[in-house]
Amino acid sequence: MATTVLPRPKAYDDTFFKPISIWLTTTDHKLIGIMYMVTGVLSFVVGGLFALVIRLQLSQPNLKIVDAETYNQIVSAHGVTMIFFFVTIFLTGIANYMVPIMVGARDMAFPRVNLLGFWLIPVSIILYYSGFFTGGALDAGWTGYAPLTEKLYQGKSLGVDFWALSIIVWAISGIMASTNFLTTVVALRAPGMRFSRLPLFVWAQISTSILLLVVGAPLAAAMILLEFDRQLGTQFFTTAGRPVLYQHLFWFFGHPEVYIMILPGFGMISEIIPVFARKPLFGYMSMVAALFGIVFLSMTVWAHHMFTVGMNTYVEGFFMLMTMLIAVPTGIKFFNWIATAWWGSVEFTVPMKFAFGFLATFLIGGLTGIYLASVPVDTQLHQSYYVVAHLHYVLFGGSVFTIMAGIYYWFPKITGRLLDRTLGEWNFWTLFIGFNGTFLIMHTLGLEGMPRRIATYANPAWAATNLIITLSSFLIAFSVLLLLINIVRSWRSGEIAGNDPWQGNTLEWATTSPPPPYNFERVPPVRSFMPLRDLRESGELVEAEPGLYPA
Amino acid sequence: MGGLSPIFPNPVSPNGQGIYNTYLLISIPAIVIFLGVEIALLWVVLRYRRSTQPVGYVPPQVHGNTTLEVVWTVIPLIIVLAIAAVSFVELQRDFQPIGNQQMTVVVSGYQFGWRYNYDNGVVVNQAGTLAGDVVPFVVPTHTLIKLQFRGTDVIHSWWVPAVSGKTDAVPGYDNFSWLKIDQVGKWRGECAELCGAGHSTMQIIVQSMDQPDFNNWVDQQKAAAAKASPTPSP
């Protein structure tokens, strides 16, 4: 029987201590992936600081920690930073690192496009924040609804222009990355890695890439038309034009963007649960089908953000129905995840804790989504704190919890060292309690009539609830601090991970931690969607003896 | 309880009541699914964690089960179709533009306040402020009133939770809603669409009065308007 000799585990990590010139010019998908992820984490911190200012301002009625104009800029910057510069960027990074390894490729299909795509992101970020130096950044929310963003209502500030340019650059970068992912998966799979054997994380990245490829261009188009209005005097979205057209274009991107931010997380959860439950993923084919069901449906639901603008009730009914149908594929995924862990031998390591934290919280975001999809109920809940609560259950309880699971799961592969478990447990519990303390009672504020994006409020009945929310939000901040400490400490002196600390299923665990620039000396044979597990169980896996190969 | 209510304020207009009832109906399957899934998760955490399994336990290597997967595809499908149907019935009943109104008020949103033009010529300007109560938008009880929304600069959204859902006031076209309040009282709301630095000041008060009181109020308003801007002499 042929055996697969694994490379000798590395004793130390040498990936990061490279000269800056290598970081600036590298086309290695792993280094680019790390740069994406570091950019994402930094944006998370910045966006979190904005959130803390928002929470301080709202902690009591009639507070004026910042004035209303500054508040509007901070609310917008929080949204833009978290959505465009944190979640999407971090997920692109982790996919950049993992997808080529998981399919057994040596690098992405277009390494130099990858390089360019990444370096457009700092350009995009710098463009956006430049707005703050022109008399005021974007102050109309991350959605930037016209005609509030039109020149007539913006004074002399150029914040909106810088935001629009930043988003155009961001969209171009996203389209590059999506093309690259799709080509990599289609063209560079290892022998035996059929489509029916792709890991679920790779499938999730395929569906994400298709979405971004389709909706990135309309987003750029909306921004370009807005710029024409502002700088060339056209009348696309002005009061003389069609302000609601902007909303259609924006949400045709904006709603699929929600899935761009959650599908890779679904993929990670589908990798993590089988590994720690020691069971294969339940219903591989239906999981893949559900992903594509979501991709299709997510492009037919955008107007559910616009149920109060006044549309024909049959059109509203159509968008309501399509939105509610998304619950079906999402439900399939949920039940399959639970069935995967059922009868398992489940080890609640930190990544598994975050995976279950994700299931427990994302469920609430999914259920409130049903209320919001119902047109009559939505006219009450729309633009209220109920929506703020819902979107954070989806994006924080959803995306951020999956990202945390992914960080704890793959950090040992990326750095060669394990994140500290005790700090990780603290990280999980403080985040879980802080998150629910912050966002659960936000639903009730919305039901009682507190609109989102108000700089302050006079109603004394909302004071106590808002204070609890603010205190809980600082627990989240503390938790993020624990994560950062854990990352820095473990990166320098954490426990050495070895090649495969979790007994993983997929190919990334068959190479060293961190992997060499070429990923594999020889790609192991692939016989199912769990190639490494197959080798382990058939006894074909042989750990290299120490000293056999040069380090 | 202030700040922690699990549902909207008690509705005072039939369309608000319709929304309220739809919310309650959706809550039945939502609560059942919530409890079912969370209990299943808790069961996995308690029952299938490695420390509670016998030493050397090897889990059954199940790859799927078509019957089960069909079941948990079809049952959620039926539930969401039912919710969509209930919602659509309510949508058709209370969200159509009406034509049988007894009174029409044009509501214009501006930066930062609301202007109400009654069809009897009265104009109420509800200038936005957080310093105290804004000027109330007064309506007679037992009267079906059509609200016609206009944005005069940017997009605003008129929202009084106790009355009904919100309606956007968009520049360029008119948007519609209605209310019919059968009790005397005052209800608060505010603008729900970010419209600039004064967004949070755009408070709304709806006050309902019985018909005689309302007639008196109309006379007062007309007298005050006549005093404020006397007709120019020919």
Q: Which residues of A touch B196 (CB under 8 A)?
A: 72, 139, 148, 153
Question: A262: domain CATH number?
Answer: 1.20.210.10
| A285–B53 C-beta distance less than 8 A | no
List A residues 349-378 in contact with B (Cβ-Cβ < 8 A): 356, 359-360, 363-364, 367, 370-371, 373-378
Per residue in A496-511, pLDDT (tens digit) is 998 999 999 999 999 9
- B190 near B158, Cβ under 8 Å? no
Claim to verify: residue B132 and residue B164 sit in the same structural domain: yes
Q: What's the pLDDT at A467? A: 97
Percent of chain A with pLDDT over 70: 95
Residues of B in contact with A383 (CB under 8 A): 157, 159, 166, 192-193
- Assess A547–B contact: CB distance below 8 Å, yes or no: no
Q: Which domain holds residue A66?
A: 4-542
Is B2 a member of any domain? no
Percent of chain A with pLDDT over 90: 88
Q: Are residues B160 and B204 in the same domain?
A: yes
Tell me whether the omega of the peptide bond preceding residue A514 falls within 30 degrees of 0, making it cis.
yes
CA dihedral A373, A376, A381, A382 (to 10 degrees): 70
B141/B27 same-domain check: no
The Cα B224–Cα B219 span in angstroms is 9
Please give the single-letter amino acid code of residue A319. F
- The CB-based long-range contact list for A195-200 (8 Å cut-off, 24+ gap) reads A196/A529, A197/A526, A197/A527, A197/A528, A197/A529, A197/A531, A198/A102, A198/A103, A198/A529, A199/A102, A199/A267, A199/A271, A199/A505, A199/A506, A199/A529, A200/A266, A200/A267, A200/A270, A200/A271, A200/A281, A200/A284, A200/A287, A200/A288, A200/A529
Q: Over the stretch A119-159, which tens digit does the pLDDT of each residue have?
A: 999 999 999 999 999 989 999 999 999 999 999 999 888 99
Q: Residue A435 contacts by C-beta under 8 Å, 6 or more apart in sequence?
A: A361, A392, A396, A397, A472, A476
Q: Provide the domain limits for residue B156.
A: 103-227
The three-class DSSP label of residue B208 is strand
Compare all CA atoms of chain A with the CA of B84 and give the residue at the minimum distance.
A321
Q: Kindly state whether residues B180 and B69 are assigned to the same domain.
A: no
Listed residue (A273, A428, A95) closest to A419, CA to CA: A428
Domain presence at residue A431: yes
* CB-nearest partner of B53 from A345, A380, A459: A345
**Structural domain ending residue among the three candidates B94, B115, B150:** B94
Q: What is the pLDDT of residues A376-402, one digit of tens each?
A: 999 999 999 999 999 999 999 999 999
Residue A3 pLDDT = 67
B169 lies in the same domain as B192: yes
Contacts of B229 (CB under 8 A, 6+ apart): none
pTM of the model: 0.94
pLDDT at res. A550? 44
Give CA–CA dist B160/B169, Å, rounded: 14
Give chain A's domain count. Answer: 1
* Residue B107 belongs to some domain of the structure: yes
Listed by number, the residues of chain A in 62-91 with a beta carbon closer than 8 Å to a beta carbon of chain B are 62, 67-69, 72, 75
| pLDDT tens by residue, A404-463 | 999 999 999 999 999 999 999 999 999 999 999 999 999 999 999 999 999 999 999 999
A272 in a structural domain: yes
What digits encode the pLDDT tens for the residues A504-533? Answer: 999 999 998 889 889 998 889 999 999 999
Q: Write the ipTM.
A: 0.95
Q: Within a domain: residue B57?
A: no
**Closest CA relative to residue B7, chosen from A387, A391, A444, A373:** A444
Could you tell me if B43 and B20 lie in one domain? Answer: yes
Q: Is residue A53 part of a domain?
A: yes
Query: Confidence class of residue B229 from pLDDT cuts 50, 70 and 90?
Result: low
User: What total of structural domains would you count in chain B?
Assistant: 2
